[in-house]
Every structure is written in structure tokens, then in C-alpha cells.
């Protein structure tokens, strides 16, 4: 009986030793993969200040916060957007007319 208990204890120790040997990688990246410095967008978003939008560019409307939407376009002296389009104000005195379904910029004012 003692022998069986001793063998069981030795096996338990043998199987748990690799778990204690792991140093805990803390989200290390495999070779060839760069670290995103805590960002989860792969560094794609350049920010409003760094982007010079032009007609034909695409904007991801899901990433645009509602505070940039222009609902009262008359206050900014803009024409009414056609159905399916929306005015966006990414910076002061700059306006984009964007197709909601595709994110295609139809008109860029102030650039």
C-alpha cells in the first residue's frame, strides 16, 4: 500500500513539474510578429489630424463617433444630404459627405 501511494505521489510530481517550469509569457509575440504597443486596431487609424481626406476615399463609419455627425447641416450652411448619405465633421471647418452604406466619400469641403 505504501508503495502504491509513493508511486502515485511521484507521478503527480512528475506531471505537475512542467507547469511550474513555465515562466508565464505575459502575451509575448512569436518571432516575426510585431507588438502593437497596446493597440487593437493594428495601427491603422491615423487620427483625424493626420488624414487628408479626398473624394473617392473610404471611411469606416463604425469607427466614427456620433459626435462627428452633422445633423443640423443648415447651421453649417451645407446642402441637405441625399437619402443614404451623411455629413461628417472630422475637424473644424472641414466637412465630408459620406455614403452610409459603403463609407465612400462623395464630397470633401475645406481640404
pLDDT tens readout for residues 48-74: 555 678 899 998 887 788 888 999 989
pTM listed for this prediction: 0.54
Is the pLDDT assigned to residue 14 strictly greater than 80? no
At 68, list the grid cell. 462627428
Q: What is the mean pLDDT of the chain?
A: 78
Alpha carbon distance 36, 96 (integer Å): 30
Please report the pLDDT score of residue 77 as a whole number: 92
Alpha carbon distance 42, 35 (integer Å): 9
CATH number of 2-22+29-109: 3.10.450
Please report the pLDDT score of residue 62 as a whole number: 78
Amino acid at each position: 500500500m505504501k508503495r502504491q501511494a509513493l508511486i502515485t505521489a511521484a507521478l503527480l510530481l512528475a506531471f505537475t513539474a512542467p507547469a511550474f517550469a513555465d515562466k508565464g509569457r505575459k502575451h509575448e509575440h512569436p518571432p516575426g510578429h510585431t507588438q502593437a504597443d497596446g493597440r487593437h486596431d493594428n495601427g491603422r487609424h491615423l487620427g483625424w489630424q493626420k488624414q487628408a481626406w479626398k473624394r473617392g476615399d473610404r471611411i469606416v463609419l463604425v469607427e466614427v463617433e456620433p459626435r462627428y455627425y452633422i445633423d443640423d447641416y443648415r447651421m453649417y450652411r451645407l446642402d441637405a444630404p441625399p437619402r443614404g448619405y451623411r455629413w461628417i465633421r472630422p475637424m473644424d471647418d472641414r466637412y465630408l459627405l459620406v455614403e452610409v452604406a459603403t463609407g465612400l466619400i462623395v464630397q470633401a469641403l475645406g481640404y
